[in-house]
Amino acid sequence: MIIAVIMAGGLSTRLKRNTEKTLFKFNNSPLIDYVTSNLESSQYIDSIVAAVSPNTPNTKEYLISNKFLKFDDSILADSNYYIETPGNGYLEDLSYLLELFEKISTENTLVIINADLPFINNNIIDDIIRQYFKINTEALSVQIPVEVYKKYNISFEFEYKGLVPVGLNILKSVNTIQDQYELIREDMELAINLNSLEDVDLAYKLLEDLK
């Protein structure tokens, strides 16, 4: 199975708003809805699991009201689940998730994605999944040249050798160090992640430009 995992348990510190970033409304929709609906339109993704945490209680309630089921120890195709991770940090919670998925099966593929990518679309997601299976490594990390961020004035958290990881990774469902291929793409749709209110302003401008 190909399972999408939406990381949705962060602290939303940089947004400086009294709201969980996942529920922050951009262009009238909560951020998490963009990622969810594009994952639902993917031709490869079988199910979606949103990883909430004690930092995001309202996101959990929101997902429950949107018919996300509580994840236990099995997973059915065409279903959406939420799972409660400890909320100790992205990497810590990712490792927690890998351990949990490993217990279910070591044969699943996990598409780990951030919840703050309002410009993402299902064609990009499917294109990346196709490339992952073509390359045939255990893990894939999507990276965008820093020039793309600079061109659009988009903020980024981390740069290494001129590349910025976008928060879209594909992994096997095993909690071990996995051989990783770095997939370099130039889509501004993947680069636009909303961290601060400045990013939100910029995203509205880009939305106008795209019209």
What span, in angstroms and rounded, lies between the C-alpha atoms of 5 and 82? 9
Which one of residues 4, 8, 23, 98 is an interface residue with ligand GTP (CB under 6 A)? 8
Q: Which residue minimizes CB distance to Mg ion?
A: 10
Q: Which is nearer to ligand GTP, 10 or 118 (CB)?
A: 10
Cβ pair 108, 90 in contact under 8 A? no
Q: Report how far residue 160's alpha carbon sits from residue 145's, in angstroms, rounded to the nearest whole number.
A: 10
Give residue 198's Cα distance to chain centre: 21
The entry of ligand GTP, Mg ion, none near residue 85 (CB within 5 to 8 angstroms by kind) is ligand GTP
Dihedral (CA of 15, 52, 55, 19) sign? positive
| CA–CA distance, 5 with 189 (Å, rounded to integer) | 19
Comparing CA positions, the residue from 112, 123, 139 lying closest to residue 189 is 123
Element (H, E) at 5: strand 2-7
Q: Work out what residue 87 binds among Mg ion, ligand GTP, none; the CB cut-off runs from 5 to 8 Å by kind.
A: ligand GTP
Counting contacts by CB under 5 A, is residue 167 touching Mg ion? Answer: no
Which residue in 85, 110, 97 sits closest to 9, CA to CA? 85
CB 7 within 8 A of CB 93: yes
User: Could you say which of 42, 48, 93, 192 contacts ligand GTP (CB under 6 A)?
Assistant: 93
Interaction of residue 10 with Mg ion, rule CB under 5 A:
yes
Kindly tell me which residue out of 79, 89, 122, 180 binds ligand GTP, with binding defined by CB under 6 A. Answer: 89
Query: Which residues between 133 and 172 bind ligand GTP (CB under 6 A)?
Result: 167
Residue (114 or 169) nearer to ligand GTP, CB: 114
CB-nearer residue toward ligand GTP: 6 or 128: 6
Distance separating alpha carbons of residues 154 and 22, to the nearest angstrom: 19
User: Interface with ligand GTP includes 77 (CB under 6 A)?
Assistant: no
115 contributes a contact to ligand GTP by CB under 6 A: yes
Of 109-117, 124-132, 133-141, 181-189: span binding ligand GTP (CB under 6 A): 109-117
Closer residue to Mg ion, CB minimum distance, 7 or 124: 7
Distance between CA 105 and CA 101 in Å, rounded? Answer: 6
Binding site for Mg ion (CB under 5 A): 10
Binding site for ligand GTP (CB under 6 A): 7-14, 21-22, 51, 53, 85, 87-90, 93, 114-116, 167, 195
